[in-house]
Structure 1
């Protein structure tokens, strides 16, 4: 190799190194700035060795909201769903492991089933004995896992824009890189957050299309969602999505709780025909029963487009499930039974 080629290679390596160093410093600065400007709004609970952040509002039957990928619990506040649901329910919103302010230990494989188990234990620890569970996007896999594994705890499901059956996903290899050891660590502390920030507008546009991105979503702090730890969590969840859907799809017939499925007909992120319509057909004749509610002209973010329709779905599940044991009036139930028997 000639001296000129060696010098050229050295210059290129030096430039790449300086670029990575500059990227690292920039990402670290933006991360610290985002965390300083957005302190945790809720509480923390440590369960199974993991520190989880959650927000709790309202009183009444418990409603648990499980967010999708890329965002964190504040997504439900920005959509207005949290505030409106808290008028009638005790609403609990966790940041899933690795998202928002919650930890995600690297020693565990955080499948939807593992996340469901952790959230169930956390809910028990804060005094919840049963709940209606709502999941959005990949959060539906967590909600379904909880309903399948602890059916006595989950009183009913509301599933928004879910991914329920495996399919070819060309985005998976692309977004899997930040979850890889070593090279992934390098990427998520340098180029991955910057690249994601550059693509943020078209990515969010695709999530909401064909509707415009609402201003209240734009107000979410972008760099809270692009911090290295959340980039890794989102990447890992994206990688596990297909095998998780494959495993869970074999168990949908075991569901024993009422289900309402909500989907936008124009969802460009998750095909509603392959997922929501197919799941509804699978569950309609099962022990749980199911109802599909399509939102015409709506994309992936159904809870932003028509939060009132999501609330109606929650109300429907609450009516079908009945009052939780902890809120029932034994004397009123005794009088009702006596009235029915004519005594």
Structure 2
């Protein structure tokens, strides 16, 4: 066998071993971290959701950011804060946690919003407050754009609303490329992601430290599965185009809006929140001092109070 053939054989064997190792890793990660909620099938997509609180109370729906899942909102304390007075529903967005992300569909914020509106109708949810964090803020805004499904209000946290020059988002989108991206996702991407994950988590929470409960209880191994890496890469690729499509539509949002953003967010610049506040013309802007991208942890109490204020205002309007 020639030297070239030997090298190619070694590389092929290494790739096969990596693929098998990542499949086994995904299986083990899911065995250690089984679904914590329930499932609903909508338009052929199986969605995982978590529900807490009084089923008869006013509802708040929570959408997480890119790369994470339901547990993020639970560990932040938001679910506990809200469940005392509300029906709380958190979804794993398509491709994250235990929700499916069929490849036949392009999962823009608008297509996700349309799917969730149908899922909420199936669950009997009417006039909710919708809360979105980071990429989830775009999904929440997309629900706010449409008129067929009325909502009480929006709470948008750490969102990216207007296009800027961000090469980092494009660089993270590689695993979404068909065929080549699939090979990367099942071989080296989980290893690279595992190596950079601790630093990324510190950056998400900076300038504050990473909470102990997040360190110990967040199922980070689920984020390293090849199928979730594809979803995260696609959303990195879609972020700037989605913000470009949405930037002229914000004034069409008619419901009340609360905007939260950390003043020291190292992932998405705080100026995004100010621009949205100006574009809406009527909203409440909350800039949280000494907080980073995970503003849901830094000031979960104030965010919960904003949700409750929207619910109370609508309840008074209904009685009037």
Report the equivalent of 1:42. 37
Q: 5+ residue gaps in structure 1?
A: 1-5, 326-332, 338-343
Equivalent pair of 2:132/2:140 in contact (CA under 8 Å): yes
Report the equivalent of 1:29. 24
Equivalent pair of 1:258/1:320 in contact (CA under 8 Å): no
Report the equivalent of 2:11. 16
How far has the Cα of 1:121 moved from its partner? 0.3
Q: 2:122 aligns with which of 118, 122, 125?
A: 125
Report the equivalent of 2:67. 70
Report the equivalent of 1:254. 252
Equivalent pair of 2:170/2:236 in contact (CA under 8 Å): no
Query: 1:30-66 CA deviation, whole Å, 9 max, x = no partner?
Result: 1111111121111111111111010110021100000
SS in 2 for 1:322: helix
Query: 1:179-229 CA deviation, whole Å, 9 max, x = no partner?
Result: 111011111111111110110011111111111111111221111111111
Q: 1:320 aligns with which of 282, 293, 313?
A: 313
Q: 1:58 aligns with which of 53, 61, 67?
A: 53
C-alpha distance in 1, partners of 2:35/2:247?
A: 35
Report the equivalent of 1:296. 289
Aligned residues: 317
Q: TM-score, normalised by structure 2?
A: 0.95
How far has the Cα of 1:263 moved from its partner? 0.4
Q: 2:302 aligns with which of 294, 309, 322?
A: 309
Q: 5+ residue gaps in structure 2?
A: none
Report the equivalent of 1:197. 194
SS in 1 for 2:11: helix
Q: TM-score, normalised by structure 1?
A: 0.89
Report the equivalent of 2:108. 111
C-alpha distance in 2, partners of 1:133/1:324?
A: 18
C-alpha distance in 2, partners of 1:170/1:11?
A: 38
Structure 1 position 142 matched with structure 2 position 170: no
Report the equivalent of 1:3. none
SS in 1 for 2:104: coil
Q: CA RMSD in A?
A: 1.6
